[in-house]
Amino acid sequence: MLLSVIIPCYNEELVIEETYKRLTSVLGSMQHSYELIFINDGSRDKTYDILFQLSEKDAKVKILHFSRNFGHQCAVTAGINHCNGDAAVIIDSDLQDPPEVIIDMLKIMEEEKANVVYGVRKKRKGETWFKLVTAKYFYRILNSLSDVKFPVDTGDFRLIDRNIIDTFNRMEEKNKYIRGLISWMGYKQVPCYYEREERFAGETKYPLKKMLKFAMIGVFYFSKKPLKLATYIGFISVAIGILYALIALITKLINPSALVTGWTTIIVLIVFFGGVQLITIGVLGQYIGNLFDEAKKRPEYIVGKKINF
């Protein structure tokens, strides 16, 4: 069996050599043949130079060098599009997901006859309380909104077989939420529990801004419930407006002097209904923006160089 290992990289000069050593140590102990597909996602440091040196020494090291930074999900997509393996592992280059777990994943896939073995984090070392809390509740909120149930406390670290790879490569949507798409496919998917380590070196490539963007892709590509929610909020706001009008009318009829004329109530109502309208427009705008991105039919990524393919 040929195993493809897909490793997206962005400014990982401090860790990439150690990643290569750990992966080759683990994969070399197995009977399977393998290929290492490093996707250099427009790194601005020496990541590409280090990868190039590794590829000259080891023909199993294959490089997809992007023309610019396209993002983590595009890098993973490129790896899946170009891999030749009977199965593929998706793993980040920062060594937070231990390469040694790959052995356990292969064993589970063989024993369970599974199509997907996804990593479930029992413990996340070196993470801030904010990251831990937001990650915990994001997956649960996404599950409550989506028509498809996703496993919680997971990332993209997983082992997928050729059925999943071929099905994924037939999907033409641009802004991919890969872990969601793989869950959406169905087939037999089983967990592999492990403890997530701290970054070996360097800084996280997912600051708050990117995390929010990623979360929005997950929500708006897998659920139409935000549209329904906007409709419900609209009905509630109309009901509140009607109720307030009735209260004002009754008060005027019963005790005209009790109704004080002023601008405070008007301002409150304007702000409330204006906020409801902006929320609704914003939700609609997200869906329209997604349609716009898909309609342009631009490629998800541009490969500037291919090495050892």
CATH code for position 101: 3.90.550.10
In this prediction, residue 164 carries a pLDDT of: 94
260 and 198 share a domain?
no
232 and 210 share a domain?
no
260 contact partners, CB below 8 Å, separation of at least 6: none
Residues 159 and 89: beta-carbon distance below 8 Å = yes
The span from the first CA to the last CA of the chain, in angstroms, equals: 18
Q: Once rounded to an integer, what is the mean pLDDT over residues 12-29?
A: 90
pLDDT level of residue 80 (50, 70, 90 thresholds): very high
pLDDT level of residue 4 (50, 70, 90 thresholds): very high
In this prediction, residue 280 carries a pLDDT of: 75
13 and 55 share a domain?
yes
Split into its structural domains, the chain has a count of 2
Other C-beta atoms closer than 10 Å to the C-beta of 60 total: 18
Parallel, antiparallel, or unpaired: how do β-strands 87-90 and 2-9 relate? Answer: parallel
44 and 106 share a domain?
yes
256 and 185 share a domain?
no
Is 69 a residue whose pLDDT tops 60? yes
- Percentage with pLDDT > 70 across the chain: 75
In this prediction, residue 135 carries a pLDDT of: 61
How many whole angstroms from its chain centre is CA 31? 32
137 and 254 share a domain?
no
235 and 129 share a domain?
no
Determine the structural domain holding residue 166 and report its residue range.
Answer: 2-221+299-307
Q: How far is Cα 223 from Cα 143, in angstroms, rounded to an integer?
A: 9
User: Would you say the C-alpha torsion 219, 224, 228, 230 has a positive or negative sign?
Assistant: positive
281 and 188 share a domain?
no
Q: Once rounded to an integer, what is the mean pLDDT over residues 276-300?
A: 76
17 and 88 share a domain?
yes
Q: At what angle do helices 16-28 and 101-112 cross, to 10 degrees?
A: 40
* Residue 250: Cβ-neighbour burial (10 angstroms; 0-12, 13-18, 19+): exposed
pTM for this entry: 0.72
In this predicted model, what pLDDT tens digit does every residue of 142-162 receive, in sequence order? 666 666 677 777 778 999 999
Q: Mean of the per-residue pLDDT values for the chain?
A: 80
Is 185 a residue whose pLDDT tops 60? yes
- When comparing pLDDT for 93 and 122, which is higher? 93
Is 232 a residue whose pLDDT tops 80? no
In this prediction, residue 298 carries a pLDDT of: 82
303 and 161 share a domain?
yes
84 contact partners, CB below 8 Å, separation of at least 6: 2, 4, 35
- Percentage with pLDDT > 90 across the chain: 32
140 and 254 share a domain?
no
14 and 161 share a domain?
yes
Q: Which residues pair with 66 in a beta bridge?
A: 303
- When comparing pLDDT for 196 and 138, which is higher? 196
193 contact partners, CB below 8 Å, separation of at least 6: 119, 120, 122
Q: Running DSSP on this structure, what letter comes out for residue 160?
A: E
Q: Once rounded to an integer, what is the mean pLDDT over residues 24-49?
A: 90
